[in-house]
Structure 1
């Protein structure tokens, strides 16, 4: 009797399973590779929400949360976005500042146009780029400078931290030329063992330095943001784009007379081993989405048992793919070998 009951159950269920299987196959034909493409949508809620809300990158939520916490863009009419591509932070700035504001986005790579944003393709370590930014402001300086730039992570933590710190210092160096007195500078950093040296350098030029971690930033990541407020240039200090703010003097340099270098004796050069404490703060709704958690896709499961049911979730591609990325040629070479 038990075997007969099992056979009857299989006989009744088989048509339903077959119908659902055919429906899924049909969906797969119209949406090839759906499973792989939606995997990141499930794992990264902010990546999915960015596409749904029209942002070019998930990092847009980081600036939104930082601005909500620190009011960075309140009443700002001259803003610079360094390392701006693909333009997620520039989109947020356009939304948050008055309509008559001037927003300058700078990047080495080409960036797709954005309404209300002046784009400069240039190197932030060159004085010519700083001069062009000031020219866009008609001789005035920026009130806010932000930077979400980061090099490709190598997985070597000490080296990754060093490279990121150099990018922060490059942003700081150009800010010394383009930021007005009392202005604000925001930059991404990695909280490694040498981060105190970076804090010390930032404190030479800003009255308040805060380490902030937006809710969008994963807890598993060392990423955070230095929020530097109330910029003031030290007396008699002249910024120089050709000098590295954190150049360390070695024994052979001192023997050649560099101990009399006014640059290093001007009170702006930070020293290794000096502990600088800054306030660490979170930004964003504590009850909001968790960047480390996976969330189910927006599917209608009410009719899951219906024959021929197909999930209603529709995958969206990124709104703006990179334009002429440096890795494009490498990908073409790799594909040609296959």
Structure 2
């Protein structure tokens, strides 16, 4: 059994982590940290856990926390996490970080996208990008994981087989993606209030969204050359779920069956990636509550264009679920342990 602590436990990602981990027999949640709710039982903040997980929230005290756990998952804002993660790693702890602070190999990309000076650039070389489908072996032995963003996960996994197999041009890749409101985190900003989001659908972060360089970084590694994308995120009036529609120009004419086989081969051993049959399109309701990503491959022969759609739960495979998948690998557990391939549906 391993001892795990969650820092930032009372946000949406933190609460989802508690939901996924609190009943595991091979994991003991020994500390949940929340400065805002320190001293209160977790079940008072989230009454669904009453009588099931009543652990009192700790304040942020790194020396004290280091006595309680060997693995930590941080669910903190960008920039806030850096010093905390550095101190945990220096104390020999293994950390999965949910901020963008350790997703980038190049600090200048991070600093430009997030308009912050990176506080621990020495850790960037040590950190592993936490996408198991691409970095499984590195994740197993890593001390620091930068858990990918939900938009990058949904986009990168949908594009990876096409780029890796040279099926598409690296130019003019267009990503239109839509997220549920929980993707913004647990906050009281007016833009995410009920009356602002209900029965409304809108784009945001046009041209300069900060997930763009993260997506480009990973796609460039896959392609072996620089890749630039047009990425436009949208907000939908739903609590959780994400759908991406991606347009790529074929490098040369090829059949849909050939492309479909390339995708199936690329993900043939992946427990949480489902390549849908021809003509079947992803829907968020079939993945919400799961650690699954559904991918659909479609060929527009008239325009010589590949259109790939992908859907995942931004709270599952897009954040907390993916962190648990990485934790399983790091701890030597079965990778799928505690993670459902089946969503809520209703």
Q: Given the two structures, how large is their TM-score scaled by the length of structure 2?
A: 0.30
Query: Which structure has the larger Rg?
Result: 1
Structure with the bigger RCO (C-alpha within 8 Å, sep 6+) is 1
Q: Given the two structures, how large is their TM-score scaled by the length of structure 1?
A: 0.31
